[in-house]
Structure 1
Amino acid sequence: MRIAALCAALMISVVAAAQKPVSQKTINEFDSYVSKAMKEWDVPGLSIVVVKDGKILLKKGYGVRELGRQGAVDTQTLFSCASTTKAMTALVLGTLVDEGKLNWDDPVNKYIPELRLRDPYVTRELRVRDLLLHNTGVAGTDYFWDIADFTWEEMIQKLVHVEPSYSFRAGFEYQNTMYMIAGVVIERITGKKWNDVMTERLFKPLGMTSTVPDRVLTNSPNITKPHFAINGEIKIIGYDKSTRIGAAGGVWSNVDDMSKWILALLDSGKYEGGRLVKAASFRELFKPQTIAPHNDYPTFSILKPHWVTYGLGWYQIDYRGRMVNFHTGSLAGLTAIAGLLQDDRFGVYIFGNYDHAEVRHALMYKAFDHFVLGNDRDWNAEFKTLYTSLKQEHEKRVREFENDRVASTKTTLPLAEFEGEYVNEVYGITKVTVVGNSLRFDVNNGFLVAELPHWHYDTFYGAAGDHYKLSATFIVGVNGKVEKLNFDGLEFGKSQVTAKPSP
């Protein structure tokens, strides 16, 4: 009896310690850390929510929505959730599992019979679960929206032509298109648009009244602009063109609403008035499902996790004896990160409006340490050093490429010989025309247009859009005619137009 009583007392003391209120001083210290770190990374605007034991410790906006303007970021400012949307899509699939309308291991062809992959075996064996795990073997297909505005129907039709990068379930390569297909599964089962299902089954129950499944569905003026460093200067850029893959990264929200999402995730999917999914489905979301690479995030080189896995929309690592479920979100000029220490009922969500501003990682781990684990490590300083080094390495590679230019060379053929249509059954059509001493590349009827000057030999290189550079190299065959175009790593074959016979 004494031992039982002692154990009970110890358990009570442990729970009491875990639920000990966080002091305002502790919160203020973290608030100051956020402000300082944000400035060191030159992030124009950021918002954050920190949750512990069912209570919001900090929910705040920092900086501005748009550089050079007065509009301050607040807790209602809309940002892109980007790939943190994936966890939401997975949970909504879980609601269909609960209703008996779906099994995680149902064949995808049961719902999308028109889907065909390169390997007929993979087509037949592909399960709904596989759509969420980045392990199908299908190489990355982000060019579907980087260089085109393909519909989801067109993307599905093109997948049969995509070469696998590894055997089915034998590796890990990030695959947004598979999440898009998961959204189609939701639509086929419910008979409703993914946008509407997300709103009905997730946003409305949680009271996420400002959250939208697509940026174009909001008319709020309180919305951030994306930012990018161009020639050493931070500038506003246009919004990303990725609305076709909403289930992979389409949601826009603010920290007022995301606090409700994090609170539910820290309470097994429960919310005031019910629960989003049954306990079994909730556990399935966070069960390690596949091994993920140790080099997916540069931060792992410092964190040195013993294992890295992927659940249903969540990366998972060990950190100081805890299991961390987290996911980043990145679109051009916009960032997000969600991090959970579920055993400690602690979570953090961070938005940013500066391209790949990795202060998000620093703030997440600092929050874990500051509010839960008691470590005083300066993650901001360590990650800033890491990413500064990586940036310098990238800039060095660009300089080396540009320094390797062979001056005073000419193209193999007159510029007019490079004109024409270049076709790829996956990527679409690139039309090439001469503009002065440059070539104009029109990819998929104006979706991406770049006018590139001659670089050397049969390569053209220069600025494209407002924040990146592209190269295009032509391959001339043994017959002395242009056969192929390598456009920023994507290969197109020149269309050979057969002359009409004379009447």
Structure 2
Amino acid sequence: MRLHRLAFLLALPFTAAAQRPDPLHGFDAYAEQARKEWRVPGMAVVVVKDDSVVFMKGFGVRELGKPDSVGVHTRFGNMSTTKAFTAMLVAMLADSGLLRFDDPVAAYVPDLRLADPYVTRELTVRDLLTHRLGFPDPYYLWDNTTLGFDEIVRRLRLVPVASSFRSRFAYNNVGYGLAGTIAGRAGGTTWQTLLRRRILGPLGMTETAVDGAELAASGVTDVTAPHGIVRDTVRVLPASAAVIDPVAPAGSMFSTASDMGRWLRFLLDSARVNGRRLVSAERFAELFTAQQIVPPEEFYPTMRLTRPHVAAYGMGWFLEDYRGEFVAFHTGSIEGRSAIVGLIPDRRLGVAVFTNLDHAEVRHALMYTVFDRYLPAQARPHDWSAELRTLYRAIADSATQRRRDRDAKRVTGTRPSLPLDRYAGTYADSLFGIATVTRDGDHLTLQVGTQTGTLEHWQYDVFRVHWRDPFLGTDDVAFALDPDGVVGALRFVDAPNRYQRSR
């Protein structure tokens, strides 16, 4: 009898372990349903717990209207999740004594000039990595332009100051472009080569391309196409894979679920690969230490539901608390592609989500769902996909209503002050470049950078631009007449772009 009881007791732990529910039971079906609800053509998800990949799968198709399915080796855009790689490279170089976080930027980019000479002199690498330059991203210098990075840097002297130096968080892709350039120079090479040598190679991330140019040159065809919602319809977008290559360290990488599993394992093992540390514990921890508070208007709308006590930025990572746990995460989004990488380091839990739809917030929904699966059960479990769809639908509806309200104020029955031919010409600005207006039959056409649109008269000397890339929607531009009745300037109503008539 005692022997039977002993055998029963010895079997208990093993039986309990065998019956312990899988935290991700049913997650596969939930993720697929969420993908459909968010209208995402294709998606890939990888989850790492401790040192193991516990979930990895592709969903949907690479391009809408075509049968090619998404797999774990399908390339997606990392977009701004690239920033964590750039910050990691800087930490590695700091370990090697090749630079310091608090080195002045001017030591590596001596030609840099900003609007404020004090900021030019005092700006550090840390400032670049924490988005506290005193002005937001001058996206008009790299997005849909043909400018090289040297010219982008040259024009920074003309970017107006938006806040006092280091006083506010202001997301800045060009700042990360500078940080990566500095890392390359400190390492005696380029950011791209350094990334391959110091991170991708040691981690075995053989499926990852450092930028759009490398992806195109590789000849790889298992790549997702970018998609966006245009007039409530999901459409393939004409966006180039190299759109962010001018500021590559800010977001140019392309990777796969398989390779991102390796990145997650590396991060959750405190920057070790096969037991070998690639970054010191001190500098690794610094990347995940709050450097700059992020105000609510600069954080994600998800905070309305998750209600973090702290919202901050480290170096390459947004930081928050969720259900009593420290969370580090970063998203990436641009013209038809989106991603998220999220960590609960103390639980050694990480998740990466790739999609081929612009700003697909299914990424946040799946991240928080994975977190909940590994945290203590809640009395009322969240359906994050449903809750976030409600939140983002309300945000979109509010934006649509604001646009309608503004359009309703249009003054009808007005005419341009001059014949259309008189508005045609070249308009220029040292910061914004060239805007060209041409007469095309009975209407005007505007070209700015690589984008072209048709001008529709709106009211007085204001015209509405209908961009040929439908995802860009519309913009309003206003012409200004000089005292002599000649058109002297053009400006965008809701963007900073300003131009003076040059001919």
Q: Give your verdict on TM over 0.5.
A: yes
Q: What is the CA–CA distance in structure 1 between the aligned matches of 2:212 and 2:18, rounded to whole Å?
A: 37
Confirm whether residue 78 of structure 1 aligns to residue 75 of structure 2: yes
Residue in 2 that maps onto 1:287: 289
Residue in 2 that maps onto 1:433: 438
- Offset of residue 25 of structure 1: 4.5
Confirm whether residue 378 of structure 1 aligns to residue 383 of structure 2: yes
SS in 2 for 1:247: helix
Match of 1:463 among 463, 466, 478: 466
- Offset of residue 33 of structure 1: 1.3
Residue in 1 that maps onto 2:341: 338
Confirm whether residue 234 of structure 1 aligns to residue 231 of structure 2: no
Which one-letter code corresponds to 1:297 in the other structure? Y
Q: What is the CA–CA distance in structure 1 between the aligned matches of 2:300 and 2:174, rounded to whole Å?
A: 20
Deviates more, 1:57-66 or 1:467-476: 467-476
- Offset of residue 287 of structure 1: 1.0
Q: What is the CA–CA distance in structure 2 between the aligned matches of 1:22 and 1:262, rounded to whole Å?
A: 28
- Offset of residue 187 of structure 1: 2.0
- Offset of residue 149 of structure 1: 1.8
Which one-letter code corresponds to 1:338 in the other structure? V
- Offset of residue 402 of structure 1: 3.2
The 1:353/1:22 distance shift into structure 2, 3 A limit, reads farther
Which one-letter code corresponds to 2:180 in the other structure? G
Cα distance per residue 1:227-282 (max 9 Å; x no partner)? 11111211100225221111000010001000000011001100126222111111
Q: Is the 8 A contact 2:142 2:152 kept in 1?
A: no
Cα distance per residue 1:20-62 (max 9 Å; x no partner)? 8996753231112111111111111111001111111100001
Cα distance per residue 1:359-384 (max 9 Å; x no partner)? 11111111100123333211111111
Confirm whether residue 63 of structure 1 aligns to residue 60 of structure 2: yes
Q: What is the CA–CA distance in structure 2 between the aligned matches of 1:231 and 1:479, rounded to whole Å?
A: 42
Q: Is the 8 A contact 1:139 1:163 kept in 2?
A: no
Which one-letter code corresponds to 1:238 in the other structure? P
Superposed counterparts of 1:413-424, under 5 Å: 413-424=418-429
Superposed counterparts of 1:219-368, under 5 Å: 219-240=219-240, 241-272=243-274, 274-295=276-297, 296-368=299-371
SS in 2 for 1:490: coil
Q: Is the 8 A contact 2:83 2:249 kept in 1?
A: yes
- Offset of residue 400 of structure 1: 2.6
Superposed counterparts of 1:35-114, under 5 Å: 35-114=32-111
Q: What is the CA–CA distance in structure 1 between the aligned matches of 2:356 and 2:417, rounded to whole Å?
A: 44
Q: What is the CA–CA distance in structure 1 between the aligned matches of 2:20 and 2:50, rounded to whole Å?
A: 14
Q: What is the CA–CA distance in structure 2 between the aligned matches of 1:23 and 1:120, rounded to whole Å?
A: 62
Which one-letter code corresponds to 1:161 in the other structure? L
Q: What is the CA–CA distance in structure 2 between the aligned matches of 1:140 and 1:215, rounded to whole Å?
A: 21
Residue in 1 that maps onto 2:498: 492
Residue in 2 that maps onto 1:137: 134
Q: Is the 8 A contact 1:431 1:443 kept in 2?
A: yes
Residue in 2 that maps onto 1:125: 122
Which one-letter code corresponds to 1:482 in the other structure? V
Q: What is the CA–CA distance in structure 2 between the aligned matches of 1:171 and 1:39, rounded to whole Å?
A: 38
Cα distance per residue 1:336-378 (max 9 Å; x no partner)? 0010000000000000111111111111111100123333211
Q: Is the 8 A contact 2:132 2:169 kept in 1?
A: yes
Which one-letter code corresponds to 1:478 in the other structure? P
The 1:354/1:491 distance shift into structure 2, 3 A limit, reads closer
Q: What is the CA–CA distance in structure 1 between the aligned matches of 2:141 and 2:268, rounded to whole Å?
A: 35
Residue in 2 that maps onto 1:392: 397
The 1:226/1:406 distance shift into structure 2, 3 A limit, reads same
Confirm whether residue 402 of structure 1 aligns to residue 399 of structure 2: no
The 1:470/1:56 distance shift into structure 2, 3 A limit, reads same
- Offset of residue 489 of structure 1: 2.0
Residue in 1 that maps onto 2:7: none
Q: What is the CA–CA distance in structure 1 between the aligned matches of 2:426 and 2:239, rounded to whole Å?
A: 28
- Offset of residue 284 of structure 1: 1.1
Confirm whether residue 187 of structure 1 aligns to residue 184 of structure 2: yes
The 1:389/1:243 distance shift into structure 2, 3 A limit, reads same
Residue in 2 that maps onto 1:6: none
SS in 2 for 1:471: strand
Which one-letter code corresponds to 1:307 in the other structure? V
Q: Is the 8 A contact 2:456 2:466 kept in 1?
A: no
Deviates more, 1:141-150 or 1:206-215: 141-150
Which one-letter code corresponds to 1:230 in the other structure? V
Which one-letter code corresponds to 1:293 in the other structure? P
- Offset of residue 138 of structure 1: 2.2
Q: Which runs of 5+ in 2 are unaligned?
A: 1-12
Residue in 2 that maps onto 1:481: 486
- Offset of residue 404 of structure 1: 3.0
Residue in 1 that maps onto 2:454: 451
Q: What is the CA–CA distance in structure 1 between the aligned matches of 2:427 and 2:72, rounded to whole Å?
A: 48
Residue in 1 that maps onto 2:4: none
Deviates more, 1:468-477 or 1:324-333: 468-477
Q: What is the CA–CA distance in structure 2 between the aligned matches of 1:23 and 1:75, rounded to whole Å?
A: 27
Q: Which runs of 5+ in 1 are unaligned?
A: 1-15, 498-503
- Offset of residue 403 of structure 1: 3.1
- Offset of residue 166 of structure 1: 0.2
Identity in percent = 40
The 1:114/1:462 distance shift into structure 2, 3 A limit, reads closer
Q: What is the CA–CA distance in structure 2 between the aligned matches of 1:459 and 1:22, rounded to whole Å?
A: 69
Q: Is the 8 A contact 2:434 2:499 kept in 1?
A: no
Q: What is the CA–CA distance in structure 1 between the aligned matches of 2:464 and 2:263, rounded to whole Å?
A: 45
Q: Is the 8 A contact 2:24 2:370 kept in 1?
A: no
Confirm whether residue 26 of structure 1 aligns to residue 23 of structure 2: yes
Q: Is the 8 A contact 1:437 1:453 kept in 2?
A: no
Residue in 1 that maps onto 2:164: 167
Deviates more, 1:461-470 or 1:255-264: 461-470
Q: What is the CA–CA distance in structure 1 between the aligned matches of 2:22 and 2:136, rounded to whole Å?
A: 49
Q: What is the CA–CA distance in structure 2 between the aligned matches of 1:417 and 1:154, rounded to whole Å?
A: 32
- Offset of residue 147 of structure 1: 4.1
Cα distance per residue 1:41-89 (max 9 Å; x no partner)? 1111111001111111100001111011101111001000000000000
Residue in 2 that maps onto 1:152: 149
Count residues in correspondence: 477
Residue in 2 that maps onto 1:10: none
Deviates more, 1:253-262 or 1:394-403: 394-403
